[in-house]
Amino acid sequence: MSGDGGSDTLARVISALWRNALAAVAPPGCFACGASAGGALPLCPVCRDGLGWLSAETVCLDDGSGSSVEAWAPLAYRGGAKALTRALKFRGAVALADGMAAQVVASVPTKLDEGGSLVPVPLHPARRRRRGFNQAQVLARAIAARAGLELADCLMRGGAGGTQMGRDRDERLAALAGAMSVRPGSSAPARAVLVDDVLTTGATLLACAAILRAAGSEQVSALTYARTPGR
Ligand SMILES: [Zn+2]
């Protein structure tokens, strides 16, 4: 009975130790293609050269409610930038955040983050529990440290609205705004710069901006590591 179970456990432990030992000596391959890579960001020279750098131009998010949000991202969400974003979010590679933050800080338009406080887009609590961290917060903390900006982790997300599937845009916005609030004991900064990993539809950023403005923020802009093409 327990003899076999014990050796199974021992085999698992040895295998885990062996994997960790290998990971410690073998340099990590390129996160996008698997070729050998080095440096602060694990991308090979080809994937690094292929990064889709965007201009300093911001995009204007507008849901027709009259309050728009200027948003900016350094990179297009494809190739190496997509691989790093997904590794941070789904593989828990939080060590990547500092290198990603360096890419943001190197090219952020000054008008966007001047004197602002960085506000991470909150993750649904169930998702945060499963993942163990909020990638937007990890990224915001790294950017704040590099740029010497304040981190204001003042938003929270609750309620049952965990998924955005199967709703039209207006319903999604209303559900998102209903699920967001300012954390008890926190206040909304006068100049808020929302931070998230990827800008896709902008619905989440607009919902966060509406909550921040209602709580007293005079200016709200947004900063993401990458944005999908066409945004
Ligand atoms: Zn590569």
Give pLDDT tens digits for 79-129: 999 999 999 999 888 999 999 999 999 988 877 778 899 999 999 888 888
Residue 22: inside a domain: no
Instruction: Determine contact, residues 207/174, Cβ cutoff 8 Å.
Output: no
pLDDT score for 133: 94
Task: Tell how far the Cα of 33 is from the centroid of ligand 1, in angstroms.
Answer: 4
Task: Tell how far the Cα of 142 is from the centroid of ligand 1, in angstroms.
Answer: 24
Q: What is the mean pLDDT of the chain?
A: 85
Q: Residue for token digits 């990890």? A: 138
CA 81 – CA 98 distance, rounded (Å): 14
pLDDT score for 79: 95
Rg (CA), the chain: 20
Of the candidate ranges 9-18, 43-52, 131-140, 146-155, the one whose mean pLDDT is the lowest: 9-18
Range of the domain at 130: 53-227
Residue 29: inside a domain: no
CA 215 – CA 209 distance, rounded (Å): 10
Residue 20: inside a domain: no
The CA-atom distances, in angstroms, between 166 and each of 95, 162, 171 are 35, 12, 10
Task: Tell how far the Cα of 93 is from the centroid of ligand 1, in angstroms.
Answer: 17
Q: Is the pTM for the entire model greater than 0.85?
A: no
How many domains are contained in the chain? 1
Task: Tell how far the Cα of 110 is from the centroid of ligand 1, in angstroms.
Answer: 31
Beta bridge partners of 199: 227
Residue 33: inside a domain: no
Residue 11: inside a domain: no
Residue 23: inside a domain: no
CATH number, domain containing residue 127 = 3.40.50
Residue 91: inside a domain: yes
